[in-house]
Structure 1
Amino acid sequence: QHLFFTCPVARIVWRSIGVVLGTDTCPSNYWQYFVWCHKYLPRKQTFYTVGLAATCWAIWLARNRATFEKKQIKTPFEIVFSLCFFLLYWTGLHQGEDAKELRTGAE
C-alpha cells in the first residue's frame, strides 16, 4: 500500500489524477481506489483496472530506477507522463468507443 498509495511521491501522482477528475481527494489503498473511481468515473468501470495498472506500473518503474539505477525522480509528473504513455499504448488492446475514450483520457 505504501509504495503505490501513501508515499509522498505516490500521493502527488494520485492528487494530480484527482485534479483531472475534478476532486482534491485521492485514494490511500486499493479499496479506496475503486470507490474513488466509482464516484468520479461512474460509467467507466472498464477502465478502473487499466488505470490502476498504468499508475502502479509507472510508480513501480520510477522507484526501481531510483533504487537500482540511482536515477532520482526529478518530479512526480514524470510518473504521470509515464502512466499516460502506458494508457495510450494500451489503447491498442481495446476496440471502438473504449479505445477512443481511453485515448482521450490519456491525452
Structure 2
Amino acid sequence: MWRTVGCVFGTDRCPNDLWQYFAWCYCYLPDEERFYTFGLAALCWAMWNCRNKKIFELKELRSPFDVVYSACGYISYWAGLLSAEDWEAMERGVKMLRMNASNMMRICAAPGDATRNG
C-alpha cells in the first residue's frame, strides 16, 4: 500500500512510523500540509475496514490494492466537505493514486493471469 502511494510521489521510500510519514509528505508535498492528516486518516481507515472484513466477515481481499482503492473512496467522499479548490486537488490526487495502483497491479500480476485476462 505505501509503495503505491510512494509511486504517486515518485519515490520507492516508504514510511515506517508516523514521524516518517509526515516527513515523507513534507518532502514530496511541501505546499500541501493541510492534506497530510486527511490522507493518513483515509489510509488507516481503509486498512482497518479491510482488516475487519477479513477477520469478522471472513471475506478474502482480492488483492492488497483493495486497501488503496478503499482509501481513494474515502478521500473522494470526504473531499466533498472541502472548498472547491481543495476538492479539486484531492480528486487529482485520488486519480493519480488509482492510476498508480492499477499500473502496479498489472506489473505485479502473475504472467499466467495476464494472458487469461487479455
* TM class, shorter-length: 0.7 to 0.9
Distance 1:76 1:27 in 2: 17
**What is the deviation of 1:88?**
0.7
Q: Which residue number in structure 1 is paired with residue 75 of structure 2?
A: 87
Q: Which runs of 5+ in 1 are unaligned?
A: 1-12
Task: Find runs of 4+ consecutive structure 1 residues off by over 3 angstroms.
Answer: none
SS of 2:80's equivalent in the other structure is helix
**What is the deviation of 1:20?**
1.1
**What is the deviation of 1:97?**
1.3
Q: Identity, % of aligned pairs?
A: 48
Q: Which residue number in structure 1 is paired with residue 65 of structure 2?
A: 77
Distance 1:65 1:29 in 2: 24
1:50-85 deviations in Å (ceiling 9; x for gaps): 000000000000011111111122211111111111
**What is the deviation of 1:96?**
2.5
Please tell me whether Structure 1 or Structure 2 has the larger radius of gyration of its CA atoms: 2
Q: Which has the higher contact order (CA 8 A, sep 6+)?
A: 2
Matching residue's letter, 1:76: P
Matching residue's letter, 1:60: W
Q: Which runs of 5+ in 2 are unaligned?
A: 96-118
- Provide the aligned C-alpha RMSD in A: 0.8
Matching residue's letter, 1:44: E
Q: TM-score, normalised by structure 2?
A: 0.78
Q: TM-score, normalised by structure 1?
A: 0.85
Distance 2:73 2:9 in 1: 18
Matching residue's letter, 1:14: W
Does 2:55 align with 1:55?
no
Q: Which residue number in structure 2 is paired with residue 98 of structure 1?
A: 86
